[in-house]
Structure 1
Amino acid sequence: MSDSSMGRPALDQARLAHTPGWRVEVVPETPSTNAVVSARAREGTAEGLVVTTEHQTAGRGRLDRGWEMPPRAAIAVSVLLRPDVPAERWPWLPLMAGVAVVETVRELGCDAGLKWPNDVLVHGRKLCGILVERVEGPAGSKPGAAAVVGIGLNTSLTADELPVPTATSLAIESGAPVDRTEVLVTLLAHLATAYDAWRERPDELAAAYGRLSVTVGERVRAELPGRSALVGQATGIDPWGRLEVRPDQGGESVAVGAGDVVHLRPAPPAEGGMT
């Protein structure tokens, strides 16, 4: 480990080994925990595998944006799921993970919220990124397709270590040291609860997302490919995880998916619409 890990304890593998419902593996360093779990998924590994690391060196976010962290300064974790749920409902998985992270952060004492689809914000600054990838098995094989849920949660980053000024960490927000093992154990418990709700009680999960959202009800500007934009009021989330926006010029709400939006920002006071 480099000097940047000094004063940041390693994850407690003994505590993590007893996390109910999950099989947690800790690797000292890896370019990407999602890549590790994706490879294991292709090999047929069963649901419930969790891979985390002390140092992720080449993480990825939505739209292939890079994500890096100093050693032991964040939680970088990927979870293998094999949901028996129709594929059209899978776009809700990133939102489900966002609910789990916000519930975790709130339990730890930080007032977090969700910016659609799954950015976790504290006082408007980004605390966590989430990337969910679908991994196909060999044609006709069992157990079939898997979902790899990757979560990068800033825990002990200092102000000088933040990748951008609009980021933050649990340590910055709380002003106190952070026990990464406690954070991860708490996160996995909330993820299990949210996953069960998504599979069996989707309306309950949708209601939780609505309560935690800082986007729904606000006026937004969704920047789309080709330099066009949709400006209006975010009115809700549809059953496929898309954001519903009622355009300023009137008419019915338009649903946009995470893959359709380059950036989502609060809209300026001026009137707007499809431009």
Structure 2
Amino acid sequence: MSDLLAHVEAVWQAVVPDLPGFTVEVLPSIDSTSSELMRRARAGLMEPVLLAADEQTAGRGRLGKGWHSKAGQSLTFSLALPLAPADWSGLSLAVGVSLAESLHPDVRLKWPNDLWLHQRKLGGILVETASNGTSVGSAATHPRLVVVGVGINIARPEAAAVSALASPDALLPAMAPAGLSEVLVGLTAGEALARVAPALVRDIQAFESQGFTAFAERFARRDALQGQSVRLSDGTQGTACGVSPQGALLVQTDQGMQAVTSSEVSVRPC
């Protein structure tokens, strides 16, 4: 039995009382857990499911970046949930808050979707939504399927392997990697999944009813960029001043306060 499979029952038991119909699946290898759940959604399968894989051969990150994933050295999973929040703004930040709090006190959040450990990238988040195309009426009353993809380094990958997966037209170099084993020696991918999955489901459900407002203070406590000099991918520089009530990054520039919302913008400390 694989390490992930050994923890499936515990994850399911922790989640299903509050989420009827929830299932957990583990595959030895797949191109991408998020790609698979999006394929299912397009086929009309909208049930809540957590899909984990020992290995991903074509993991996806934001802005077309790949994700380094090797069996036993990383935790890669995607969570699909029907969701109908009044406002989707800030969902990826809420996901990051949940993961960071479940993992370790030293884990910080780099806007908009990176987990940091000691100023290095520990993990990433990719949030996508899909509809089966049969709903009529407002989005607030007809759920879409949200697919939250998560990749977390258990062992620290080699920097060269991470750099090789960067988008060829990336304006900024890949971040140096970190591994959870640096602060949680001996922790396995299955144990990490059992740590984060139940709380993640609860927090996404809380986001649906309360929005990002319920997570703003929690995000601020983990904000890796607060007060830091930052450079946007378009060359703009300024000082990070937290996030807005909708989850936009606030940057004080020479031209004034700028609210950064575009998913096409990368941010790095100067």
Matches within 5 A, 1:169-208: 169-174=179-184, 176-201=185-210, 202-208=212-218
Contact 1:132 1:148 in 2 (8 A): yes
For 1:77, the equivalent position in structure 2 comes to: 77
Contact 1:159 1:168 in 2 (8 A): no
Distance, in Å, in 1 between the alignment partners of 2:96 and 2:113 is 5
1:37-71 alpha-carbon deviations (Å, 9 max, x no partner): 11222233344211001111110100010113122
Residue 213 (str. 1) matches residue 217 (str. 2):
no
The one-letter amino acid paired with 2:269 is P
Contact 1:138 1:144 in 2 (8 A): no
**Aligned in 2, Cα 1:193/1:221: closer, same or farther, shift over 3 Å?**
same
Distance, in Å, in 1 between the alignment partners of 2:64 and 2:264 is 14
Shift of 1:122: 0.6
The one-letter amino acid paired with 1:183 is A
Higher RCO, 1 vs 2 (CA within 8 Å, ≥6 residues apart): 2
**Aligned in 2, Cα 1:230/1:139: closer, same or farther, shift over 3 Å?**
farther
Shift of 1:157: 4.3
Residue 256 (str. 1) matches residue 270 (str. 2):
no
Shift of 1:215: 1.2
Contact 2:230 2:239 in 1 (8 A): yes
**Aligned in 2, Cα 1:238/1:160: closer, same or farther, shift over 3 Å?**
closer
Distance, in Å, in 2 between the alignment partners of 1:157 and 1:213 is 22
Taking structure 1 as the reference length, the TM-score comes to 0.81
State the percentage of identical aligned residues. Answer: 30
**Aligned in 2, Cα 1:52/1:131: closer, same or farther, shift over 3 Å?**
same
Q: 1:119 aligns with which of 108, 114, 122?
A: 114
**Aligned in 2, Cα 1:222/1:158: closer, same or farther, shift over 3 Å?**
closer
Shift of 1:144: 5.2
User: For the aligned residues, what is the CA RMSD?
Assistant: 2.4
**Aligned in 2, Cα 1:121/1:160: closer, same or farther, shift over 3 Å?**
closer
The one-letter amino acid paired with 2:82 is R
Q: Which runs of 5 or more residues in structure 1 are unaligned?
A: 1-7, 268-275
For 2:5, the equivalent position in structure 1 comes to: 11
**Aligned in 2, Cα 1:94/1:47: closer, same or farther, shift over 3 Å?**
farther
Computing the radius of gyration from Cα coordinates, the structure with the larger value is: 1
**Aligned in 2, Cα 1:207/1:197: closer, same or farther, shift over 3 Å?**
farther
Q: Which moved more, 1:61-70 or 1:193-202?
A: 193-202
Q: Which runs of 5 or more residues in structure 2 are unaligned?
A: 17-21, 164-174
Q: Which moved more, 1:56-65 or 1:143-152?
A: 143-152
Q: Secondary structure at the match of 1:82?
A: strand
The one-letter amino acid paired with 1:111 is D
The one-letter amino acid paired with 1:266 is P
Shift of 1:186: 1.5
Q: Secondary structure at the match of 1:58?
A: coil
After TM superposition, where is structure 1 displaced by more than 6 Å over at least 4 residues in a row? none
Contact 2:157 2:177 in 1 (8 A): no
For 1:265, the equivalent position in structure 2 comes to: 268
Distance, in Å, in 2 between the alignment partners of 1:117 and 1:216 is 13
Contact 1:50 1:77 in 2 (8 A): yes
Q: Secondary structure at the match of 1:96?
A: helix
Matches within 5 A, 1:96-175: 96-106=94-104, 111-140=106-135, 145-157=144-156, 163-164=162-163, 166-174=176-184
Aligned residue pairs: how many? Answer: 247
Distance, in Å, in 1 between the alignment partners of 2:201 and 2:241 is 28
**Aligned in 2, Cα 1:196/1:42: closer, same or farther, shift over 3 Å?**
same
For 2:167, the equivalent position in structure 1 comes to: none
Distance, in Å, in 1 between the alignment partners of 2:264 and 2:35 is 24
Distance, in Å, in 1 between the alignment partners of 2:114 and 2:230 is 15
Contact 2:46 2:145 in 1 (8 A): no
Q: 1:238 aligns with which of 224, 240, 244?
A: 244
Contact 2:11 2:197 in 1 (8 A): no
Shift of 1:131: 0.6
